[in-house]
Structure 1
């Protein structure tokens, strides 16, 4: 048994003899998820198509459990590796059970006749993806999320050691995305299957992947764990973001702050200010936020959306000069919005700000 279930050596991919990406090194072990991310057109799908031999590599070698795939029979590959691509497959006049059963083709022979053991495998795969109730339904009449589950059942019916998926969540709502990724994660953990997939949703890649390969400018730009990739502002450079920002800790995108001096001061903390920050940004109103400890839940959104943020060091008492700085900003704002539902010892500084604002401004302070 080889250390890597799938690995490439000097893989070069492209179209019509023209290289797109050279010297690609990918490695995935049993029980691991390897995810390709990167801008549109960078070559993620091309790499996957070359691994599964839908597109012939222009150079290099793809190994499956130590064997050069170019020398393996198609049926032998199909018994080890299955594929779920983004082409929104719509088999006509087939039930979901029949679509899933098509995954038994590496074992059924030329006529495709299912044995009792084959049918048991089909039912087992449908159960694994929570699609038993769809077995007799027409594949044409179910939702995109249900289709993805049935197509995954078809892939599982091959009894693979590796599943390759190209943008498996592209057409799914959040319910089906979460469900599909949960199923995939369970397959990896319980059956020690290796997954190689591409994803547009980088927040999902951060949550599901063991290792991430970043493709940029037709090259492998970086490879590492999610903790290594999602750090130091790398994601914004990878995607060439010129507007807004990506929060590496929470995996979310925020739009750019409204330019201009703050017109509103928002007193928040503990997540209470985030909806107000976003509402003010949508309304085109520049605002200031504070006083927030640097480890406060509000802090990442405030830094992304506010014109100015008044912060204090994490775990430290709020210093008098920080309070004075916040009061100076309030002096130049037309309104103060207090989002904090209650004050205690740790946010007593914001009580002082609310009282100061009440004495300085005629505006009614609330979070509406």
Structure 2
């Protein structure tokens, strides 16, 4: 088990001496990625600003590599921790390379003159974020996604052991979100740089983080691995979701299921039903789904979106109770959709259902 490199010990954070969140205690190993998630205004940014000494600690302590944050000078801290905040920099008449080079200032003399080694590190940082072609362009003239890459390059330039980022993917399109997080993951795992960041996109947090800190209320709601945190009830309670669902299988937020008795019966397997479920949901048509094995990927979504799901145990032949209920639905629903069912030895009775739906003139392919 790795030793904790970054530790929060009974930390209380807030403003003007009034705590917003108390009793924050957890440790982060070197090279781990920790994502802070939670509702807007819960205090994620306040925690990040406190552990980077932009806000004063109200109680407790932060220990970085056995050094107390309260005893560290800003210069000493800047050689260990780099910060990328949501506030947009507005440097006048600075090129992108100039901005990246400011990451070397903790190591230069009072005149801020870069050495040949400093220049090499600037080049290396810009190459790491695929931004060498932006070097001579004005920082204020580039896109938001490009600015985030330049600010990350500036952080890399500091040679930090830890990088702290506050909502780095906000306002970025999908390409730049993925690119930025891929760079962070590579740095964390190849260079053992600890990454602490807040994210709004919980699906991305689930995919990139080694640990997840759930921020809600006056104390930490939960802290653990993505497997522990990204459960349906945990996310529902964290965000107080009462108008939809979190699907832990797909890592997605789902809109509520259509209300009412099933009008359409979808017969599917092996993921073929998913696009049909989504189409019916968008059209606000209540539907039933079946007969699905509970280990089928269709079942994972059908249980959230369908008005009724008929199931069978995995690897078992379809039994009479499930088959009889499915026959009833064929008779009750105005339409039966064959979404492209794969028929095998265990689910042969689905073929009988499809034949019955065809006899009743209700069968629709697709």
TM-score interval, normalised by the smaller of the two chains: over 0.9
State the 1:3 CA deviation. 2.8
Residue aligning to 1:206: 206
Q: 1:93 to 1:346 in 2, by over 3 A?
A: farther
Aligned counterparts, 1:150-169, within 5 A: 150-169=150-169
Q: 2 CA distance for matches of 1:349 and 1:89?
A: 64
Q: Which moved more, 1:317-326 or 1:77-86?
A: 317-326
| Conserved? CA contact 2:232–2:246, under 8 Å | no
Q: 1 CA distance for matches of 2:331 and 2:222?
A: 47
Residue aligning to 2:215: 215
Q: 1:289 to 1:341 in 2, by over 3 A?
A: closer
Secondary structure of 1:189 counterpart:
helix
Secondary structure of 1:7 counterpart:
strand
Residue aligning to 1:31: 31
For residues 249-300 of structure 1, the C-alpha deviation after alignment (integer angstroms, 9 at most, x for no partner) is: 2201111111110001111221111111111111111011111111111112
Secondary structure of 1:331 counterpart:
helix
State the 1:341 CA deviation. 5.9
Secondary structure of 1:258 counterpart:
coil
Q: Which moved more, 1:283-292 or 1:131-140?
A: 131-140
Q: 1:345 to 1:92 in 2, by over 3 A?
A: farther
Residue aligning to 2:133: 133
| Conserved? CA contact 1:233–1:248, under 8 Å | no
State the 1:218 CA deviation. 2.5
**Superposition TM-score, scaled by structure 1 size:** 0.95
Residue aligning to 2:248: 248
The answer to whether structure 1 residue 304 and structure 2 residue 304 are counterparts is: yes
State the 1:89 CA deviation. 2.6
Residue aligning to 2:97: 97
State the 1:30 CA deviation. 0.6
Runs of 4+ more than 4 Å apart: none
Secondary structure of 2:364 counterpart:
coil
Unaligned ranges ≥5, structure 2: none
Secondary structure of 1:288 counterpart:
strand
State the 1:93 CA deviation. 2.1
**Superposition TM-score, scaled by structure 2 size:** 0.96
Matched residues, number: 365
Residue aligning to 1:11: 11
Aligned counterparts, 1:235-314, within 5 A: 235-314=235-314
